[in-house]
Structure 1
Amino acid sequence: MTQLASTGHGPLAGIRILDLSSVVMGPYATQVLGDLGADIIKVESPDGDNMRAVGPMRHPGMGHLYLHLNRNKRSIVLDLKNEAGREACLRLAQSCDVLLYNIRPQAMARLGLSYEAVRARNPRLVYVGAYGFSEAGPYAGRPAYDDLIQGQTGIAHLIQQQSGDVPRYAPLTLADRAVGLHVAIAMVSAVLHARQRGEGQSVEIPMFEGMAHLVLGDHLGGATFEPPLGSTGYARLLAAHRRPYATSDGYICLLIYNDKHWRSFFKLIGRPELAQDPRFCNHTARAQHIDEAYAFLAEVMRTRSSAEWLADLAQADIPSARLYSVDDLIEDPHLRATGFICEQQHPSEGHLRTPAPLGRYTGTPTSIRRPAPRLGEHSREILREAGCTDAEIDALIAARATADISLNKGSI
């Protein structure tokens, strides 16, 4: 079983982030940076991050998604609607490189935590807002969740268009995690600028625009040109038969992509003459007849078993793979061999499995240095680092502005 690293010197060691975000997008961004060595101070309300309540879980407040999203972080409880809590937050910001939040800027201002207020305490601080819609447009301030953003950026409609079924959302928090990576990149980029120039800045990363960037990159299609050269959409991605192919006894995943692949496939099935067929003879022709090409594949793939196809396709050097379930993914021998599935002992939650930090760094290795914290587990520790005395911390606890669970005192 992998042990928690006692120290971490990842590539972002020395960067400190004050994370006021909750749910998935912001916490995922800081989880990525925490894995890379950044010191993440997770500020939680007295009720805690909503994801603490999403099961399955062994103990209240320690749901499975929370555990994955919030490793390599320290938790401090601060009631930001309490004047003492707000002041404590500003005090913490003085020693941080980044402050991340995911509520509307107007709400931050009402809390007394506007960019101007924070900048007055730390001019070098990077102030990052990750929320639904840009403040520059008419949708500013609208509520935004993953399902809504998937729907509003065309993803559910694209799935309907491709499948001929009803509109559906992708079965993962696609918008939160995709835009969360943009948020992580923004934080690192702005910190590099702040350290080079000696001044921070305010940064906005909106979900709607972030996912529109992803969708339109593939599907602008003919609308790329003015006047348009056809309809929107990337035909290959929308082909009805672009899906796992049914074999005689199951399904496999297959992508016959370039000219060499197709020639090899036609030879494999005993139809080498099809390489001269005007529909299939080159990449441009196949793109123009992609529905026919994929329908042909769907018909042929039913003639052999999955095991036969996988062996024959591998021999012909044509890209193919088994169709996995999530359970299969967990047991994948490659992920096991590379150590991607970490098995660890959490101090309160027991034996856990979690994905490892991504990538290999020869000079600054990544690590899981801390398990996901209990609510307010590090309140006293973090406040001491900010220069608060024990008497001041006790006063904050008495004012219900913070809580210190490490000593089982000051519960809110």
Structure 2
Amino acid sequence: MTSSGAVDKWGFETFAQVLEEGSGLIGEPAIVDGITGPSITQNGRTLTNLASINLLNMHQRTDLRQCFAEGAHQYGLTTGGSRMTQGVCRAHLELEHDVSQATGKERALSFATGLLANVGFVHAMSQDIDLGAGVRMNNSDSVFVLDRDSHWSLWKAVEGLGYGKRVFFFRHNDPDHLDRVLTKVGGGGKVVVVMESVYSADGTMGPIPALLDLCEKHNAISFVDDANGFMIYGPAHRPFATEYQHMRERADFVMMSFSKAVGLEGGAIAGPTAAVQSFELLSGTSMFTAAMQPPTAVTAREIIRRLSRDPEIVDSYLAKVTAFRRRLADIGCETSETSTYIVSVPVNDDDIAVELRQAFLDHGYLVPVFVYPAVKRNKALLRLIISDGHTEDQLDGFLSTLATLKEQFKF
């Protein structure tokens, strides 16, 4: 069945054709079979996978799959309706309790994805809603100040608020610039400062204590997107313990995604009880879309508890990351300044980066390449996340291939 003429005038055919021929960014997606993890099977071919964000590979553990199955048996596969109309599934409530404990906040609210958590937070903090009978929440005068490198979901959430009116940015990880922006836009009004812990493109850690100092100086609310660091960093013996102590004790709101360390779908926001309770209604993304599947909530809770109970799981993974970074330096690869598990290798040429992606595929490696609009034009990079399940042979082969392609493409 062909599309109507009304669709043709929007230009999708030309756009898709130019993208496919000129950049290789889209086309028919590869067909994935089997379980994704340290390896992935695309179109019948098995590749070493450096694109997975499921870094601890917990979902391949037999006992956790059994936990998921038992959760499905107890709660079914779906909630079947909004928590505002039916009530909250016990599996979600118990997960939210553990999330609030893990983050040091009073209360947490789970969402189907981290993206929906971010969008819901902005919506709740920016809208004017009047329910009648004197029940009104008017945040139409709120202002948002975002780190320039904040995730797409946060920029999308503030898109309709008007840049330069209710939306401003500060330079990436630059407290001095944030101070100047807050001085300009503050004035005692409702201001929300949006920052991240670990940034997903360059792998840097935000200067959390300094940014929180400025929020307190200017009486602004602090919101930390901890999608990438949740359950990886925090304990005193791990890197960035200071940043996480300040986040736990001083940040007003913390968002987390369950797709990284936990390795499942879903997300949550934790913060003061009254505010988070209000998000059930005000966010929109809690009331008007599906929640996480109950067995996912059951299993996410079990993984969070296990990572707390057995720190060696993450400790050994971070040691593996440190060794990997050291080997990258040995072959002359510059990496991000802060040593998080997200390792970005600059390419700084969009055309070369696209060629590199195909070259890695030809050698049997699925490597994520970030080009514009994920990063600035000609600031392309390889975003590498090794898996706890990668073998030494897989990493040896990748590093050898990287060294060869680095010489070939001169990046």
TM-score by length of structure 1 reads: 0.23
- Structure number, greater radius of gyration: 1
